[in-house]
Amino acid sequence: MKTCLTGKRRYRNQLDARIALANTRRRDRSEKRAYQCPSCHGWHLTSQAA
């Protein structure tokens, strides 16, 4: 899996990020949403609310 300059995992599109988000919720992780990164234009997960 590729990473961004921020050190976060980089998902190539919103669908991949949402699938990953759904999987993290099953494992009791704190990620709340996916967002598009202004630096790499990929998608990341964050624990911060919108």
Give per-residue pLDDT as tens, 1-50: 789 998 999 999 999 999 999 998 777 778 999 999 999 999 999 999 88
Q: What pLDDT, on the 0 to 100 scale, is given for residue 39?
A: 92
Q: Give the residue carrying structure tokens 């991949």.
A: 16
Q: pTM higher than 0.75 for the full model?
A: yes
- What residue ranges do the domains of the chain occupy? 1-50
